[in-house]
Structure 1
Amino acid sequence: MITRRAIFEGRIKPGMEDRFFEEVESRLAPLWQAFPHALAVRMFRIEDCDDTERPVVMIQEVDYPDREKMQEAITSPARDAARARTIELLEMFDGRFYHVISGKNRLSAKR
């Protein structure tokens, strides 16, 4: 399994915080859930961040069975629709977003 994360780094424009997250939950999350091969979709609204110069306000995660299935998803019409909606939401956001991909990693329990 692999996880593709979108990191939203920056700030939501003043006074638009609630609307931004309402739009994410009502209009964008259903599009994420429609991605082909998505095993799980999560969205985290960040409440605090150590780096005030480059704060992270949201992280979105989608789990896929493998890299091939992820590639199918990110080249699908569902992804195109989500990307178009994301661009609309960026009108309320000053910053950038980027993706990171990780495999399944586990730390051993301390004994």
Structure 2
Amino acid sequence: MITRTAIFEGAIKPGCEAAFFDAIRTRLAPLWGQFPHARNARLLRVDQADADAPPIVMIQQVDYPSLAALDEALASPVRAKARATTLEILEMFEGRFYHVVSAGNAVEGHCED
């Protein structure tokens, strides 16, 4: 499995917090599931972080079955629409966003306290 992660580093402009997350939820999130081969879209709002952590507001992740499937998704017309919507929503955001792609499997077993 391949996961494409978008990291939103910075801050939401003052007074725009509710509108920002509402736009993500109602305008952008529905597009994530329309990407070809997309599986398991996740939106993670950062509530707490270490004192020396970068100011990450939000993390978005979408899983794909392979790099070829991800490449197909990124070449699709849905990406252009999602990108345009993202840029509109980012008018309420000060900072940057970037993507990382990772491969891996779930860790089997469990941790004990």
TM over 0.5: yes
Deviations 1:48-106 (A, max 9, x none): 22256731000000000000000000111001100000000110000000011111145
- RMSD of aligned residue pairs (Cα, Å): 1.7
- Secondary structure of the residue that 1:80 maps to in structure 2? helix
User: How many Å apart are 1:39 and its aligned residue?
Assistant: 1.4
- Secondary structure of the residue that 2:88 maps to in structure 1? helix
Unaligned runs of 5+ residues in structure 2 are none
Q: What's the TM-score once normalised by structure 1's chain length?
A: 0.91
Whole-Å Cα distance in 2 between the matches of residues 61 and 21 of structure 1?
Answer: 16
Count residues in correspondence. 111
User: What amino acid maps onto 1:6 in structure 2?
Assistant: A
Q: Identify the residue that residue 38 of structure 1 maps to in structure 2.
A: 38
Report sequence identity in percent. Answer: 54
- Secondary structure of the residue that 2:50 maps to in structure 1? coil
Whole-Å Cα distance in 2 between the matches of residues 107 and 52 of structure 1?
Answer: 27
Q: Identify the residue that residue 93 of structure 2 maps to in structure 1.
A: 93
User: What amino acid maps onto 1:47 in structure 2?
Assistant: D
Q: Identify the residue that residue 29 of structure 1 maps to in structure 2.
A: 29
- Secondary structure of the residue that 2:47 maps to in structure 1? coil
User: What amino acid maps onto 1:49 in structure 2?
Assistant: A
- Secondary structure of the residue that 1:71 maps to in structure 2? helix
Q: Identify the residue that residue 11 of structure 2 maps to in structure 1.
A: 11
* Distance verdict in 2 for CA 1:11–1:52, change over 3 Å: farther
Unaligned runs of 5+ residues in structure 1 are none
* Distance verdict in 2 for CA 1:92–1:103, change over 3 Å: same
- Secondary structure of the residue that 1:61 maps to in structure 2? strand
